[in-house]
Amino acid sequence: MAQPGRVLPLEGRPLSLSERARVALGGEGVSVAASTHPGIHASRRVVEEIVARGEVIYGISTGFGKLADVHIPPEKCEELQVNLVRSHSCGIGRQLSGPEVSAMMLIRANVLTLGYSGIRLEGIELLVALPSHGCGPMGPERGRDGSR
């Protein structure tokens, strides 16, 4: 768990190896810098407007990969996103250590603070809160698509 008082604010800037190590090894907590909130909120509004207008946008109102030309009706868009997470929730190989998984979560959260994904701020905050409390997903060495 992170030591009280030490917090690394994520701003989307490159993180040094020492910063990654301090967080991954539990010596430092993480927060989402307030300066990133406007961009995150603006990106989320774009996604919500697209869904409200019923526009066809890859991965938001369509399937993925070979199903990219399959339109998903608005009432099924939330189910689509849940199913995407489920489809990526498996893997094989040795289980990565807690610090390895924490480092990956840190890097992903940092990129999300750039505000280009459409994720809600609460999603990023949850992603950074889990390792700070000694929690996180199991991380297999190889993802469901065979990647490392």
pLDDT tens for 118-138 read: 999 999 999 999 877 777 777
For residue range 68-99, what is the model confidence (pLDDT) as tens digits?
Answer: 999 888 888 889 888 888 877 778 889 999 89
Query: Is the pLDDT score of 2 beyond 60?
Result: no
Band (pLDDT 50/70/90 cuts) for residue 44 is very high
Q: What does pLDDT average to over the chain? A: 87
pLDDT (0 to 100) of residue 17: 96
User: Do 45 and 52 contact (CB within 8 A), yes or no?
Assistant: no
Q: In the predicted model, is pLDDT for residue 144 greater than 80?
A: no
Question: Which tokens in the block code for residue 51?
Answer: 């869904």
Query: What's residue 38's pLDDT?
Result: 98
Confidence at 40, pLDDT banded by 50, 70, 90: very high
- Clarify whether 116 is annotated catalytic: no
Q: Do residues 143 and 91 touch, judged by C-beta distance below 8 A?
A: yes
* 123: its two tokens: 């999603």
Sequence-separated (6 or more) residues with CB below 8 Å from residue 27: 2, 3, 6
How do 91-95 and 140-143 pair as beta strands? antiparallel
Between 81 and 146, residue with greater pLDDT: 81
Point out the catalytic residue in the list 25, 58, 92, 97. 58
Quick one: tokens of 73?
A: 């009706």
132: phi > 0 → left, psi -120 to 50 → alpha, else beta; which?
A: alpha
